[in-house]
Amino acid sequence: MEIVCPVHNNGDDIQKISAIVKAGISSGSYSGPSGGLFQAGGQTGVYGGYTTLGGGSSTKLADAFANPMPSERSLGLPVILIVISGYLILKGRDPYDVFAHALCMEPIGIIGVLVGIVVFVNTFLHTQTLPTKLEEWERKKKILERLYYCHRDDIVFDPESKQSSLPDDWQNVFTS
């Protein structure tokens, strides 16, 4: 079966969406000498060294089909924040510690405990919704494997069902 665009009925300007997604993810790195010029206190100086940089970019379409694997969220950091903040609260209540009172350790500790609780709950909720996100991703991936894009008419289409949509509206058409 020849795959053709449903608008202009030709297959010369179409491409699988999965290929577009794979082509829409890039990464790179640089390692090498680096240097610069700085000014401080009315004087100018030069510095140099060795650096390693890395990064990446992706298209919106690639992001839409990105695997929602768990991020590196840990419950350890908010717990540490809560413990340290609890210590600040206790230290701030010491009537003989003038330094603790001057730095307002008790209010800072209370704020730290509240922030720690919010981060802890947010991290916990994120880990609870992960299975649902993975199921959604698997469903989208199956849809993605059968879709095509026509560069000439700027539409996404399914050659089996003959449905088509604008690129920004593909999720409403194909995932409902």
Query: What are 28-38's pLDDT values in tens digits?
Result: 888 999 888 88
Token pair of 166 as six digits? 């604008």
Identify the three-state secondary structure at position 148.
strand
CA distance 171 to 176: 8
Token pair of 47 as six digits? 């510095």
pLDDT in tens, 153-164: 989 899 988 889
Domain residues of the chain, as ranges?
14-28+49-174
Token pair of 167 as six digits? 């690129």
Is-above-0.75 flag for pTM? no
pLDDT over 60 (residue 24): yes
pLDDT in tens, 52-71: 888 888 887 777 666 656 55
Buried b (16+ CB within 10 A) or exposed e, 132-155: eeeeebeebeeebeebbbbeebeb
Q: Cα dihedral sign for 55, 134, 60, 22? A: positive
Residue 144 contacts residue 17 (beta carbons within 8 Å) = yes
CA distance 64 to 67: 9
Token pair of 38 as six digits? 């700085």
pLDDT cut 90: percent of the chain above it: 6
CA distance 49 to 63: 35
Q: Classify burial at 4, counting beta carbons within 10 Å of its beta carbon; exposed 0-12, middle 13-18, buried 19 or more.
A: middle
